[in-house]
């Protein structure tokens, strides 16, 4: 089991780095698909099959297709020829990230997780299995405990749509 986890973890990380590092946007997009699949694999290891399926269908499926559509509308040769704007700050950025990474690894290995009274919660694999399926549990939790944030997120999606309409609207900016 551990081996599978590390396998997914490492492929996920490597492909995530690939997303930022590749110069060809199509390669980046494909690396992103790999990263999303690895995440889905980790979800399966955590007994969250439903999330894994969503990850593959929505992200790796629908959203990536949209990405690729947009990329096809662009001239990739031009994109590749664009100068990289962040070359000068690169050593600085890598330095800060490295320091932060070391700190984080140190702190996380030293820390204790799941120590609170509430930490042994009710969303364990056994409990979820007892009520039926993953999707069922997720639905129940979303519509009970997380009802208010759930509604707020629906407004958030509306805002994203209205905003996109605003930015694409004809006739704005003509004096």
Partner 1 sequence: MVGTKMIETLHTFTSGDFTGLMPEIILCAFVLLISIYDFMSKNKDKEIVSYLTQIGLLATLISVLSLIGDTAAGDKAYVAYNGMFVLDNFAIFLKAVVLMVAVMTVAISHKYNKEAGYESGEYYTLIMFAVLGMMIMVSGGDLISIFVGLELMAIPCYFLTGVFKKDSRSIEAALKYFLMGAFSSAVLAYGISFVYGVIGSTNLEAIASFFDLAVIAKAKAGVGMAVTPEIMSAASAELATRLSNPIFYLVLVLFAAGFGFKIAAAPFHMWCPDVYEGAPTPITGFMSTAVKAASFAIFLRVYATGLFALHVNWAFTLGILSALTMTVGNFLAVTQKSVKRMLAYSSIAHAGYIMMGLVSIGIVTFDGVTLSINRIDDGMASVLFYLVTYAFMNLGPFIIIMMLRTKRNSGEMMADFHGLGKRAPILAALMLLFMFGLTGLPPTGGFIAKYYLFYAAVKANFTWLTIVACVNTAVSAFYYFRLGMVMYMYEPKIDEEINASPKAVHAVLYICVLVTLWIGIFPDKFFEAAKHSLMRLKYLL
* Interacting residues toward partner 1 by CB under 8 A: 103-104, 106-108, 110-123, 127-128, 130-132, 137, 140-141, 143-149, 152-153, 155-156, 158-160, 162-163, 165-167, 169, 172-175
- Residue 56 CA neighbour count, 13 Å, CB half: 12
* Shortest distance, position 85 Cβ to partner 1, whole Å: 12
- Nearer to partner 1 among residue 10 and residue 152 (C-beta): 152
- CA-based nearest residue to 60, from 40, 83, 80: 40
Q: E strand or H helix at 127, and its extent?
A: helix 125-131
- Nearer to partner 1 among residue 83 and residue 121 (C-beta): 121
SS3 122: coil
* Shortest distance, position 29 Cβ to partner 1, whole Å: 18
- Nearer to partner 1 among residue 24 and residue 149 (C-beta): 149
* Shortest distance, position 11 Cβ to partner 1, whole Å: 21
User: Cα separation of 69 and 132, whole Å?
Assistant: 38
The CA R_g of the chain, rounded to the nearest whole Å, is 21
* Shortest distance, position 150 Cβ to partner 1, whole Å: 9
- Nearer to partner 1 among residue 87 and residue 110 (C-beta): 110
* Shortest distance, position 160 Cβ to partner 1, whole Å: 6
Helix ranges restricted to H, the chain? 2-21, 25-45, 49-54, 64-73, 76-81, 90-110, 125-131, 134-143, 147-168
- Nearer to partner 1 among residue 6 and residue 139 (C-beta): 139
Q: Are 41 and 4 in contact (CB under 8 A)?
A: yes
């Amino acid at each position: 089991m551990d081996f599978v986890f590390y396998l997914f973890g490492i492929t996920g990380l490597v492909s995530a780095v690939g997303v930022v590092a590749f110069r060809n946007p199509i390669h980046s997009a494909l690396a992103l698909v790999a990263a999303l699949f690895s995440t889905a694999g980790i979800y399966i290891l955590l007994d969250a099959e439903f999330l894994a399926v969503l990850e593959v269908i929505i992200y790796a499926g629908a959203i990536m297709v949209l990405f690729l559509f947009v990329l096809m509308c662009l001239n990739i040769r031009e994109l590749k020829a664009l100068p990289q704007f962040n070359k000068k700050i690169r050593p600085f950025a890598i330095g800060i990230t490295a320091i932060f990474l070391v700190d984080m690894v140190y702190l996380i290995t030293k820390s204790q997780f799941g120590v609170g009274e509430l930490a042994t919660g009710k969303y364990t694999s056994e409990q979820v299995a007892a009520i039926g399926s993953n999707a069922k549990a997720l639905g129940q939790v979303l519509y009970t405990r997380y009802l208010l944030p759930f509604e707020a997120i629906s407004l958030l999606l509306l805002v994203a749509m209205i905003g996109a309409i605003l930015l694409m609207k004809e006739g704005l900016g003509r004096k």
